[in-house]
């Protein structure tokens, strides 16, 4: 952060938005990479929150073990954190589950919380939910994060690099083209 004086006032300039985004993405990616194996072994989602404290540092809640298809993150223990994002894994590979793409519920939950979200899949894909545009975007593909040893790409069908909420809904109803 840089401080400048203007009109007799000291103003602090935050890092540019793209640098802040890169820091946030990096924190989410390393956090998700560190919990993927636990998620595969337990066949459960793991989740948490990412924020920025009053000192400007990125802080992350300890991952919470959830259920096979849901997880409620721990809240921050202090009020001096600006919550920026959620994160969660999608558990282990299941040929009958569409776990390689964030769900419409994932997007809706982040929208309701007013945060972006990061999702790790059994195939090692890394996704970002973008509630302000009602969409999800693939940050990096298969193997970007640790992959479940049981992962089989032939079970997943076509995976796009982004989806709108309407496209996620159509995918979940089996109407994806």
Confidence at 155, pLDDT banded by 50, 70, 90: confident
Span 124-129, average pLDDT: 98
| Residue 8 belongs to some domain of the structure | no
Is 3 domain-assigned? no
In a domain, 177, yes or no: no
Q: Which of 2-11, 84-93, 144-153 has the lowest mean pLDDT?
A: 2-11
- The pLDDT, as a whole number, for residue 26 is 96
pTM: 0.87
pLDDT at 2: 35
Number of structural domains (the chain) is 1
DSSP class of residue 9 equals E
Instruction: Name the residue range of residue 22's domain.
Output: 14-66+73-172
DSSP 14: P
Q: Does residue 7 lie within any of the structural domains?
A: no
Residue 43 within a domain: yes
18, part of any domain:
yes
Residue 111 host element (H or E): helix 104-113
Q: Over 90: is that where the pLDDT of 15 sits?
A: no
**Rounded CA gap, 86 and 113, in Å?**
9
Q: Is 126 inside a domain boundary?
A: yes
Element counts in the chain: helices (H) and strands (E): 3, 10
How far apart are the C-alpha atoms of 93 and 123, rounded to whole Å? 8
Cα–Cα dist 111/151, whole Å: 29
Lowest mean pLDDT among 18-27, 106-115, 121-130, 166-175: 18-27
Q: What's the rounded mean pLDDT across residues 154-169?
A: 93
Residue 124, token pair as written in the block:
């090692």
Assign 20 a pLDDT band (cuts: 50, 70, 90): low
Element holding 31 (H helix, E strand): helix 17-42
Do residues 6 and 29 make contact, with C-beta atoms less than 8 angstroms apart?
A: no
Q: How many CB atoms lie within 10 A of CB 81?
A: 19
Confidence of residue 21 (pLDDT cuts 50, 70, 90): confident
Whether 148 is covered by a domain: the verdict is yes
Look up tokens 């302000």; give the residue.
132
End-to-end CA distance of the chain: 46
Question: Which pLDDT does position 156 carry in this prediction?
Answer: 80
pLDDT at position 160, please? 96
């Amino acid at each position: 952060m840089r401080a400048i004086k203007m009109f007799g006032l000291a103003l602090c300039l935050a890092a540019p938005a793209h640098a802040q985004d890169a820091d946030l993405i990096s924190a989410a990616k390393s956090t998700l990479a560190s919990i993927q194996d636990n998620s595969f072994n337990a066949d459960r989602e793991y989740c948490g929150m990412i924020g920025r404290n009053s000192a400007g540092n990125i802080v992350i809640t300890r991952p919470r073990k959830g259920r096979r298809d849901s997880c409620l993150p721990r809240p921050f223990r202090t009020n001096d954190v600006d919550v920026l994002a959620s994160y969660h894994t999608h558990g282990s590979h299941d040929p009958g589950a569409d776990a390689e793409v964030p769900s419409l519920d994932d997007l809706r939950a982040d929208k309701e919380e007013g945060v972006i979200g990061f999702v790790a899949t059994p195939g090692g894909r890394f996704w970002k939910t973008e509630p302000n545009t009602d969409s999800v975007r693939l940050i990096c593909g298969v193997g970007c994060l640790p992959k479940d040893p049981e992962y089989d790409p032939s079970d997943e069908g076509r995976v796009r690099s982004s989806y709108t909420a309407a496209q996620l809904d159509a995918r979940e109803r089996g109407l994806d083209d």
